[in-house]
Every structure is written in structure tokens, then in C-alpha cells.
Amino acid sequence: MNSPEVSVVVPIYNEEAGLPTLFERLYAAMDDFGASYELIFINDGSRDRSAALLREQYERRPDVTRVILLAANAGQHMAIMAGFEHCRGEIVVTIDADLQNPPEEIGRLVEKMREGYDLVGSIRRQRQDSAFRRYASRAMNRLRERITRIKMTDQGCMLRAYRRSIINAINSCHEVSTFIPALAYTFALRPTEIEVAHEERFAGESKYSLYSLIRLNFDLMTGFSLVPLQWFSMVGIGVSLLSALFVGVLALRRIFLGPEAEGLFTLFGIVFFLLGLVLFGVGLIGEYVGRIYLQVRHRPRFLIDAVLEAPDIRVDRRQAQTPEITPALGGATAAAAAERHA
């Protein structure tokens, strides 16, 4: 079977309410665009009926639909990685299932890729998020760019298109935690960005809490740069020089003016500042050590319970050049696994 030109990878996590509308708009947009395509839905351990709806949709359109059922929730980026390992298209597009990025915009990304770019990012136009999310996103974008030197105008938008060469490079990486858009930019030779529409979330709530967003940005900064450690080293050198200067001033004062009776709270303030600095440094080093710890265990990043796909597609994928590096749970047929998820 010939490989499609476009693969669309869609991670799914508890999106039962919005899936029927997603199917309606996504299939219509791809049919109208006219390119050969496949849609890869990854059920990321959903606790609602998302897996059952995905199975029903596969039965309706098995010619262009493939469903990957993960055994447990692995996170958005690991779910997309599972899709990358199974996609076959020359152009691979990622899109969220919440319909904030309209499926009708996929055609514009593909047209831009046809101009010869190997990576097309997107910038949300008139972003439909809270003011706090918009300002926090801009601040993190600026901080991330200074630390990693990776230039992405809108790092939080997952509507992106990748060339097959970029996908193969990403699949060759075995990182336990990563940020896919930034990883792709490290491999891209001709990246570009376009503006895309942005809509309000169709149903449900965002899966990213404030804590999740902070963790994601920690992964982004510590996973692609040593600058935080270098900055902290420079701060440590500066504080050491100031501390030495302060000790010298106190020694001269004691020689010429006698012992100091006051200034106890000033000393406490300096000590607490230095303690805070040390604790911050320990936490920062812990981030890097923690990443090393997760990596050296060599545990699978995710477990695939079943893959719903046509038999001829399965044979075609086994003959592909991209290696299969993530084990699936043995002994379970696709139908039985789908029943369990349902």
C-alpha cells in the first residue's frame, strides 16, 4: 500500500464530549483538501468513553483511520511520540483534539510545507485564552528563547507540520521527557511559522493545570540547555565575591572601630538570602539529576495496549525504515483491548 502524503496525529485524553464534532470537521477538512492522508488518534489512557468513540470511528473509516490505545496515561507529548512511531506520511501534522486549533487550518500548513520547508510552526491569532495564560505564555516564551536559543513565537500551539526527515530524527531519540516542538527545531534546517485561527475550547476543560505548565517549562529549559546551571554558577561566583568583600569590611571595622554590637538582623537577612540561594541551586541541580535518573532506568516511555489499523497498513508499516522502539503489551488482540478501554 502506498504511503499517504499527510499524516495527522491527534492525542486524545478525556475528550468524549468533543470527539463527534472533531470527527465531523477533521474528516471534512481533509477530504476537501484533496491530498492522500491518514488520521492517527492516540487514546492517552482516557477514563471516559473516548476509546469507544475512537473504535466506532475506526469502523466507519478504516481506510484512513488508525487508532493507538495506550495502556495508561503517558502525557500529551509521549502520546504524540507514539503517533510519530506509527505514522507513514511524508508530511506529519499534529493537532489537539479540543478544536481550539481549527482542523480547517491543516491545509494551510501542508501548502506551506510544499514550498520546501521542513518544519512549519503556528502562531495563534486572536488567542482565545484568559489574560493570565496569554501573559504567562509570552513571558515563558521570552525566557525560553534566552535560555535555549530556540526561536518559537508561540511554543504552546501544537498545530505544527513536520517533514518525514524530522520525524525520523525525533524517533531516533530515546528521551524519557521532552518538548516535541523544541526538539524538532533542533533538527530543522528550514523552519518557518504562519498565523492560524484560534477558537474557544469546544467542550471540557484544559488538561494543563498551572503545575503542569510549570513542569512542562522546566522540562523545556533543562532538557535543551545548560544555561540555567551556568547562570547559577555565575550568581554563585558573584555572591562569593560579595561575601568576601563583606567579610573584609567587617574585619576592617572591627580593627578600626571595635566590635559591632548592632546589625544582628542584617546578618540574619544575609544568612537567609544565602540559604535561599543554596536551596534554589540544589533544586536546580536536582532537576538535571532527576532527568538523568529517569533516563538511565531505560523504562519504556509508554505502553501500547493495541493498534486498530487495516491489515495492509500494518504490513506496510513493518516494512518502513523507522524502527519500532516501544513495546506493546503482549497477548491482547486489538478487539479485546478496545473492549477493555470502552
Q: What pLDDT is attached to residue 269? A: 62
Q: What pLDDT is attached to residue 129? A: 58
Domain annotation covers residue 247: yes
Tell me, yes or no, whether 232 and 96 share the same domain: no
Q: What domain range includes position 272?
A: 227-296
Domain annotation covers residue 274: yes
Smallest Cα–Cα separation from 320: which of 78, 105, 88, 39?
88
Q: What CATH code is carried by the domain that includes residue 195? A: 3.90.550.10
Q: What pLDDT is attached to residue 40? A: 97
Render 144-182 in DSSP notation, one character per residue.
Answer: HHHHH----S-TT---EEEEHHHHHHHHT---SS--HHH
Domain annotation covers residue 334: yes
Q: What pLDDT is attached to residue 156? A: 74
Strand order in the sheet with 304-308: 191-197, 119-125, 160-163, 91-94, 6-12, 37-43, 65-70, 304-308
Domain annotation covers residue 249: yes
Domain annotation covers residue 128: yes
Cα→Cα distances 147→13, 141, 151, 184, 282, Å:
31, 10, 11, 17, 19
CB contact at 8 A, 161 and 192:
no
Tell me, yes or no, whether 165 and 49 share the same domain: yes
Residue 309, phi then psi, degrees to nearest 5: -155, 155
**Which amino acid is present at 145?**
E
Domain annotation covers residue 220: no
Tell me, yes or no, whether 306 and 270 share the same domain: no
| Its pTM surpasses 0.85 | no
Tell me, yes or no, whether 63 and 188 share the same domain: yes
Residues 6+ apart with CB under 8 A from 279: none
Q: What pLDDT is attached to residue 182? A: 84
Domain annotation covers residue 134: yes
Q: Cell numbers 504567562 label which residue?
A: 136
Tell me, yes or no, whether 89 and 202 share the same domain: yes
Tell me, yes or no, whether 28 and 134 share the same domain: yes
Domain annotation covers residue 214: no
Q: What is the pLDDT along the chain (342 residues), one digit of tens a residue?
A: 578 999 999 999 999 989 999 999 999 999 999 899 999 999 999 999 999 999 999 999 999 999 999 999 988 889 999 999 999 999 999 999 988 889 999 999 999 999 999 999 998 876 655 666 666 666 666 766 666 667 777 777 889 999 999 999 999 988 777 788 888 988 999 999 999 988 876 565 655 556 566 666 666 666 666 667 767 777 777 777 777 777 677 677 777 776 665 666 567 667 767 777 787 777 778 777 777 767 776 767 778 888 888 876 655 555 444 433 333 333 344 455 555 555
User: Residue 40: how many CB atoms within 10 A of its CB?
Assistant: 26
Tell me, yes or no, whether 27 and 120 share the same domain: yes
State how many domains the chain has. Answer: 2
